[in-house]
Amino acid sequence: MGDWPGAVANMVTALDPSFWRGRRVLLTGHTGFKGGWIAIQLAKLGAEVTGLGLPPSTTPDLFSLSRIAEGLSHHECDVRDRVGVADVLRAARPEIILHLAAQPLVRASYADPLATFATNVMGTAHLLDACRDSDGLRVIVVVTTDKVYRNLESPYPYRESDALGGHDPYSASKASAEIVTACYRESYLADAGIAVATARAGNVIGGGDWSENRLLPDAVRSWQAGEVLTVRRPDAVRPWQHVLEAVHAYLHLAEALWRQPALAGGYNFGPETGDAAMVRTVIDLARTAYGRGEVHFDAVEQGPHEAGWLSLEIARARAALGIVPRWNLEEAVRRSMSWYRDLHQGGDARALCEADIAAFEAAK
């Protein structure tokens, strides 16, 4: 089945706790939104995690509220610091690296393109270059984005073989990171027995994200303050998914690469192709799930260019890895808004994350 080595039947796969127990993992970007969820999942699985990242960039933040530093070896280090990155990697002696450290925001990339390129391109190069001399390292998963493709603004689901590109500095920097990763894989790391893959996930939602200019965090901030949420591009289409879909995919990809290094390459992770949805649809679901909230949809697009239509073809992840989505859009939004509402009512962030993880693992 499929055109990829080790293709498997369509099935929902579970992470293997026996694989992760005691496994040495270097997780970059562990102080961020997705990195925080991965750190919590890895702690549950019993991995020995070294975290490399900047101090949290928002207030509040998932890293602090969920006490993530207590479950790993925490190192504050900027991936733009080549020597610092190499020192942390040398001390950690990882078997697996999950690279999420990045400047992750489109609008922030317009404001400071050089910092975006330095972090997302050279930061990735610094890490991969240090891996050339890392004994015991077997797997690297570099997380990029669904925005690495040259967007043609058509309802065409992008496949891993499609051309890379990027109109805005964020997208261009992540497409460049894909090229840098492929270069290091083919020139150095494959010959050293290190399997390297890139993960291109769709728009991720879930509790614990407080970044600016992101849809659900902006909604939560507005509605908790009793203000009207202004949505600037209500008809933009994106492949939305819960953060745990991405977390599961990244970790399962790492497991698969360990067992079958020939699976190295790029992978899309997202909802079923036909389930990409408009921004206004997500907001309508969020308002229903949250129980209140006023919204103003802008009639005219404002701000710098952002893609109007983006969807992903996930056939490769399904055929080669057995990964299929578990939560549809309505469930993903409901879980996300419940997380924020429960936290606002006094809930414990770590417990809320662990409850969502348990529910996700039980989903079929």
Q: Which of 202-237 are b and which e, b meaning 16 or more Cβ less than 10 Å from the residue's Cβ?
A: bbbbbbbbbbeebbbbbbbebbeeeeebebbbbebb
Q: Which pLDDT value is given to residue 195?
A: 98
| Widest distance between CA atoms in the chain | 57
Measured torsion, CA atoms of residues 178, 182, 183, 186, in degrees rounded to the nearest 10: 180
Say what the pTM is: 0.95
What angle do helix axes 243-259 and 33-45 make, rounded to 10 degrees?
60
CATH match for 17-362 among 3.50.50.60, 3.30.750.24, 3.40.50.720, 3.40.50.1100: 3.40.50.720
Which tens digits make up the pLDDT trace of 258-268? 999 999 999 99
305 pLDDT higher than 90: no
Mean pLDDT score of the chain, rounded to an integer? 94
Model confidence at 302, pLDDT cuts 50, 70, 90, reads low
Return the closest-CA partner of residue 168 out of 185, 187, 145: 145
DSSP string, 73-114: EEEE--TT-HHHHHHHHHHH--SEEEE--S---HHHHHH-HH
Model confidence at 119, pLDDT cuts 50, 70, 90, reads very high
**Mean predicted confidence (pLDDT) in 153-175:** 94
Question: Considering only 25-39, 152-166, 297-311, which range has the smallest mean pLDDT?
Answer: 297-311
Model confidence at 110, pLDDT cuts 50, 70, 90, reads very high
